Structure 1
Amino acid sequence: MKTNSCLEISSIISILVLFSLLFSPIFSSMNFREENETTMAGNKSKNMKLINDHLRKINKPFVKSIKSPDGDIIDCVLFHLQPAFDLPELKNKISVMVQPELPKEDYHKTGTNPEIKQLWSLKGESCPNGTIPIKRTSAGDILKTNSIPKFGKKYSRKDTQPTPGHEHSIGYVREGEFYGAKAILNVWKPNVTGLDFSLSQIWVVADVPTRPVNTIEVGWHVYPSANSDNLPRLFALWTPDGYRSGCYNMLCPGFVQTNSKVCLGASIKPISTYNGKQYEIALLVWKDPNSKDWWLRVGTEVIGFWPAELFTDLHDRANRIDYGGEVYSATYSGTHTSTQMGSGHFQDEGYKKAAFARNLEMVDQDNYLREVSNLNIFVEKPNCYGINNGHSDAWGNYIFFGGPGYNPNCL
């Protein structure tokens, strides 16, 4: 996004902001009661004030709002009003916006990048130039976490170590200097139970044993307790301190979006079908050699970036890259969850039947995309969720992964 594309409309900003404030998504106590069909006893007014204060921080004044068929409301927010610029140290990013330098890659070898399609824009809806799409947050969304400080965050895990509730099927590379990662993932709609989530993603990680992990994670997930549906949604997550801070998408200040076409947190459609057509998304995270910020591209659309200032160890580079799936069971109690990973089928079923991540690549210090080497695989409970890996001329390095969760061999 060019700097002047955001600033050309500065002459009418005051009018747009005044107009949008009339429709700003701030919830009154009455609206809250109607939405949730209940009343809050005791400290109701205090809780409502905290919730509304938080909504004012993340739901910005908008120029246009779009009602998606899945019930989402997508707000088109002026570029310079997005949450990231609530951080004083990032305000200078508004006036120095330049296009990043894309990693150099051999398109003949890797093929084309599949485009992402999202439900909110399938009928031609879009956000105007100079604005960016942000999924609106409701009071009900915050209430699901039972804690404003936990809202928008991912529960902590000890990376790939066996942790109650977290299970992974991943391919990973370590012991190197990495400046980004790329993969193409097929999109599924796994069955997810209770408060669980299921995802397919890439991790770009700086993991120093004596300090909290820094990570950027992007992919798709099904997370009913956070989104009130079983739809696969595009997500991005960051943390500089082992998941204590940072957040999903734009639910806190941090990620700077520059794209008006793709909405983080919005549902993806169409979806792969078992033994049928496969739908994919191409994800690339890389460190721009000029700005030193970490950028995100989905398909051919450059979405935005995480400023280097957000991180400690990841400020410089990553030392690990992971690709694959994860299931989190919030009610882990010894009996294995029936939440599915990927398609819900094991990796041995292969193409059109199992989840995959293909064309696994990394970005080197010279900003070149290279095939990953020395790819290892890891899984906690192979009878619940599994993984295998391989290599071909068309797919480069790839993994198949997933499974049904609870079954006679997975207790």
Structure 2
Amino acid sequence: MKGRQTLRVTLLSYLVIVTNENDIRSIKKGENTSHIFSYQQDDKTVRMEDGDVYDCIDMDLQPTFNHPLLKDHKMQMEPSSFPVGLDIKPRLQHTFSQVQPSIVDCPIGTVPILQNIRRNQIPAHNIEEVISEGTQQEMAGIRYLRDDVYGTRATISIHEPRVKKNNKDNSASWIQINRGPNVGLADGIGAGSAVSLSSSGDTFARFHVGWQLGALNQTCEDHKCPGFVQVNHNVGLGGRIRPVSIYNGPQYVINVLIFKDPKTKNWWVAYGENNTPIGYWPSSLFTYLEDRGDCAYWGGYVQGPTASSDSPQMGSGHFASDGYKKAAFVKNIQIVDEKNKLVTPNNNKANPGSSVLSKYTSDGYGVDNHGLHVYYGGPGDLV
């Protein structure tokens, strides 16, 4: 059965996945990954109900513009166009409730920056440890290879998988686009939900964007280092997503869209039923992903020092065979083709599976008029 085949892909960094058909290796420490830039101005501070604190930073002073390649970058305030077909809404077999990232009351002209990513609040070694050599990773979902990818859209179920206390592992539900000559040199961009006690200090599901600059061996997420240009004044990257799905109860999802602007070539991230833009990665950052991607990944992963030897939960913490209302899922998966049109991925290039079937599985893989879909996840060693 195709959905039960072993899945081997390589996680290059925290919240960034690179898929490759043959190559698997441990990641290496990247240069300057621990460098977190300070901000030049705080216009307003917002304390959220869940305790998160955001600074509303002048949009032109957000930390991403400390990047040498973005010193004279002209900010793009909105996409020049969206992929064709976004207005076609899939008919859902089941009932889901849409959730969204943390919404922060920042003034227009500013962007919210999560305060706990400041240098004096997260030691530099924390980031280095997350992506150090020897980091273990496991995953279950769909890898997609050997095709031109100009974007992807998917509906991701939101869960809070259990990650052990005093543990530096993380567990995520994620979509990803990559391109590069091999695993060690691949560029990657992605977005989704993750639980990471070592990064956030709690076990809440949080929304992140992440990227890898393969030629420089650099990785990052959100605003922890320069690279992602945010234009939305309300979405708090790194913020809590709630409510989350309940086992055998209400199911909550988020729609995530990543796409290449056909005019500016920037890679945009949008969320929700209305495809609200959050921001973008300028194409000038990338060596291999500047034009297009050639592989993608949709599903779940766990990563950290003990992700394989003492594995956390993935997805809902239940095996994929448990099905609807019990297992995590990603559905309505589409890609953007060279004509800027949303299409169903080529079924012959999609490979559902798991890297370790005793801990995590994929099941229910299929294709319909609205794309691919699959259940995934499992208890890891928390049985």
TM-score above 0.5, yes or no? yes
> Which string of whole-angstrom CA distances, capped at 9 and with x for unpartnered residues, describes residues 198-250 of structure 1?
00001100031386111002101000011100000000111111783131101
User: What residue identity is the alignment partner of 1:372?
Assistant: P
Distance (whole Å) between structure 2 residues aligned to residue 327 and residue 242 of structure 1: 25
- Cα shift at 1:171: 0.3
Match of 1:391 in 2: 366
One-letter amino acid matched to 1:130: G
Of residues 251, 256, 280, the one that matches 1:305 is: 280
Q: Secondary structure of the equivalent of 1:365?
A: coil
Q: Percent identity?
A: 34
What is the match of residue 100 of structure 2?
Answer: 117
What is the CA–CA distance in structure 2 between the aligned matches of 1:284 and 1:211, rounded to whole Å?
Answer: 26
Query: Which structure shows the bigger proportion of residues in strand conformation?
Result: 2
Q: Distance in 1 between matches of 2:69 and 2:376?
A: 41
Number of residue pairs the alignment of both structures matches: 340
Cα deviation 1:306-347 (Å, max 9, x = unaligned): 000111010111010110110113136x7x324100000000
Looking at structure 2, the residues matched to 117 and 360 of structure 1 have their Cα atoms a distance apart, in angstroms, of: 18
SS in 2 for 1:378: strand
Deviations 1:154-187 (A, max 9, x none): 6279xxxxx8620011202211111011111010
What one-letter code is carried by the residue in structure 2 that aligns with 1:133? P
Deviation at 1:101, TM superposition (A): 1.1
1:137-156 equivalent positions in 2, closer than 5 A? 137-139=117-119, 141-143=121-123, 146=125, 150=128, 155=131
Which residue of 48, 72, 81 maps to 2:61? 81
Letter in 1 for 2:138: E
CA distance in 1, matches of 2:345, 2:246: 29
Q: Does 1:68 align with 2:48?
A: yes
Per-residue CA distance 1:289-321 (angstroms, 9 max, x = gap): 000011101112100100001110101110101
CA distances 1:121-149 after superposition (whole Å, capped 9, x unpaired) = 4xxx5111111111112456422x5267x
CA, structure 1 residues 64+98, in 2 after alignment: closer, same or farther (shift >3 Å)? same
Gap runs ≥5 in structure 2:
1-33
| Shift in Å, 1:392 | 5.9
- 1:3-42 aligned at under 5 Å gives the runs none
TM-score under structure 1 length normalisation: 0.76
| Cα gap change, 1:275 to 1:245, in 2 (>3 Å) | same
Instruction: Give the drift of 1:91.
Output: 3.8
Residue equivalent to 1:279: 252
Structure-to-structure mapping, 1:181-192, within 5 angstroms: 181-192=152-163
Higher share of residues assigned helix: 1
1:376 and 1:227 map into 2 onto residues whose CA distance is 32
- Structure 2 vs 1, CA of residues 141 and 226 (structure 1 numbering), >3 Å: closer, same or farther? farther
Larger radius of gyration: 1
How does 1:352-391 map onto structure 2 within 5 Å? 352-374=325-347, 375-391=350-366
The alpha-carbon deviation at position 390 of structure 1 amounts to 2.7
Q: Retained in 2: the 8 A contact 1:155–1:243?
A: no
- Kindly state the Cα deviation for residue 389 of structure 1 after the two structures are TM-superposed: 4.0
Q: Does 1:180 align with 2:151?
A: yes
Q: Could you tell me which amino acid in structure 2 is paired with residue 155 of structure 1?
A: I
What secondary structure sits across from 1:84 in the alignment?
helix
Q: Which of 151, 161, 169 is matched with 2:140 structurally?
A: 169
* Counterpart for residue 108 of structure 2: 129
Query: Does the 8 A contact of 1:109 with 1:394 survive in 2?
Result: no
**Counterpart amino acid of 1:245?**
Q
Change (3 A) 1:396 1:296: same
Give the letter for the 2:140 counterpart: S
Displacement of 1:58 in angstroms is: 3.4
User: Does the C-alpha gap of structure 1 residues 288 and 95 become closer, same or farther in structure 2, counting only changes over 3 Å?
Assistant: closer
- How far apart, CA to CA, are the structure 2 residues paired with 1:279 and 1:210? 33
Deviation at 1:396, TM superposition (A): 3.4
Aligned CA-pair RMSD = 2.6
CA contact (8 A) 1:58 1:251 kept: no
User: What is the SS of the residue equivalent to 1:314?
Assistant: coil
Per-residue CA distance 1:83-138 (angstroms, 9 max, x = gap): 1212343244336645331001164452599754345x4xxx51111111111124
Structure 1 letter corresponding to 2:276:
E
Question: What does 1:326-341 correspond to in 2, within 5 Å?
Answer: 326-331=301-306, 336-341=309-314
Q: What's the CA shift for 1:372?
A: 1.2
Residues 206 and 319, structure 1, Cα contact 8 Å, conserved in 2 = yes
Per the TM alignment, residue 67 of structure 1 is displaced from its structure 2 partner at its CA by: 0.9
8 Å contact kept, 2:333–2:372: yes
Aligned residues of 2:300 and 2:376 also touching (Cα < 8 A): yes
Which residue does 1:45 correspond to in 2? none
Change (3 A) 1:98 1:298: closer
Rounded Cα–Cα distance in structure 1 between residues aligned with 2:183 and 2:265: 24
Cα separation, 2, equivalents of 1:258 and 1:308: 16
**Structure of greater relative contact order (alpha carbons < 8 Å, 6+ residues apart):** 2
